[in-house]
């Protein structure tokens, strides 16, 4: 790390802590994170006639540049807590929802609730409810599919993209197929999400590099929602991979037609979403310059858990207050 980068991190550190105190969102446990969340009651058109809610974090000043953080499966807004706290401290307004079926959002039973189209419509409804006309969108994993759906119907509202380990192409997407793979065992019900030890091992061995998750308290934010029913939405996704694959050409066309300025930050040791294969295609279709592409050898899949400071730094540069 050169001297200028060190100085930048020191400046960011000094700025963050007074603002964290002022804006309040800096959870150290999943319970604290949950206590900071608000609830948005979904309308009938995106709730299937049920009374369902979306839980979300709304942190930072109301007049700050807005950053919408979209998680993947089977995680929640907890995965973004470090990024959210730092951005809010730096004067950004952070909206970090739990998609339906995950985190502290409602968890209805039935695959029909969990299509990417409906998840996208719910997030647009949330932003309407909050009165936010436009924003920067950060996406991870299946959050990319939700984002492509949003771009297809509301591209004028998304000012830019920060792309973290996701997919829109066959290339680079290697979903687990073998029944020996723990993720497939989860999805097929051969083992359950009801065992903390199994979930802990899966996160530590498959999703992050060794020693990149702080402690068991951090891990609890990942497995507690799964123990509380989030496996339903995850199963819905894992059993619809063929349908997802059929939609990929449509998503690619959306990227070419409605593409936005973008930054790519990718954990290079991800075995399911392989950056070396996918990044050249995102670069081509979104016309991303090399200086906005970061393939990191010190991260795996959950890059916002592993390298939150890098993500915050790139957002500050890419989407400054004086945008």
Least confident range of 43-52, 109-118, 163-172, 248-257: 43-52
- 8 A C-beta contact, residue 200 and residue 218: no
The string of pLDDT tens digits covering residues 186-213 is: 555 544 555 666 666 666 666 666 666 6
Domains detected in the chain: 3-318 (3.40.50.1820)
The string of pLDDT tens digits covering residues 88-104 is: 999 999 999 999 999 99
Does the pLDDT value for residue 46 go beyond 70?
no
The pTM of the full predicted model, rounded to 2 decimals, is 0.88
Percent helix, strand and coil across the chain, each to the nearest 5: 50, 15, 35
At residue 31, the pLDDT reads 93
Q: Which of 148, 145, 130, 123 is nearest to 54 (CA)?
A: 123
Q: Which residues pair with 158 in a beta bridge?
A: 135
Phi, psi angles (nearest 5°) of residue 39: -120, 135
Query: Is omega for the bond preceding 74 within 30 degrees of 0, making it cis?
Result: yes
Buried b (16+ CB within 10 A) or exposed e, 201-225: ebbeebbbbeebbeeeebbbbbbbb
Token output for 252: 């690619």
- 8 A C-beta contact, residue 129 and residue 59: no
Least confident range of 104-118, 188-202, 250-264: 188-202
């Amino acid at each position: 790390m050169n001297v200028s980068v060190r100085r930048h991190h020191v400046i960011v550190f000094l700025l963050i802590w007074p603002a964290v105190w002022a804006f309040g969102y800096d959870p150290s446990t999943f319970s604290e994170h949950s206590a900071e969340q608000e609830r948005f009651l979904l309308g009938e058109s995106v709730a299937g006639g049920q009374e369902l809610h979306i839980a979300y974090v709304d942190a930072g000043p109301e007049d700050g540049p807005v950053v919408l953080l979209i998680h993947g499966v089977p995680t929640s807004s907890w995965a973004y807590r470090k990024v959210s706290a730092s951005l809010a401290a730096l004067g950004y307004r952070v909206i970090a929802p739990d998609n339906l079926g995950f985190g502290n959002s409602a968890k209805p039973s039935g695959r029909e609730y969990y299509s990417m189209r409906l998840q996208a419509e719910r997030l647009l409804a949330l932003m309407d409810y909050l009165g936010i006309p436009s924003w920067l969108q950060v996406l991870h994993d299946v959050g990319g599919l939700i984002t492509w759906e949003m771009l297809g119907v509301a591209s004028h509202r998304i000012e830019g993209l920060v792309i973290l380990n996701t997919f829109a192409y066959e290339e680079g997407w290697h979903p687990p197929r073998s029944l020996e793979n723990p993720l497939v065992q989860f999805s097929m019900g051969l083992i359950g999400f009801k065992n903390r030890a199994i979930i802990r091992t899966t996160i530590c061995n498959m999703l992050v590099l060794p020693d990149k998750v702080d402690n068991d308290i951090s891990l609890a934010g990942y497995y507690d929602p799964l123990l509380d029913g989030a496996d339903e939405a995850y199963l819905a996704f894992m059993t619809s991979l063929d349908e997802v694959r059929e939609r990929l050409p449509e998503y690619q066309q959306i990227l070419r037609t409605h593409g936005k300025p973008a930054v790519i930050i990718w954990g290079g040791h991800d075995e399911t979403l392989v950056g070396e294969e996918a990044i050249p295609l995102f670069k081509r279709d979104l016309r991303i310059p090399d200086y906005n592409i970061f393939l990191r050898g010190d991260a795996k899949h959950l890059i916002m858990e592993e390298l939150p400071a890098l993500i915050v730094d790139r957002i500050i540069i890419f989407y400054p207050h004086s945008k």
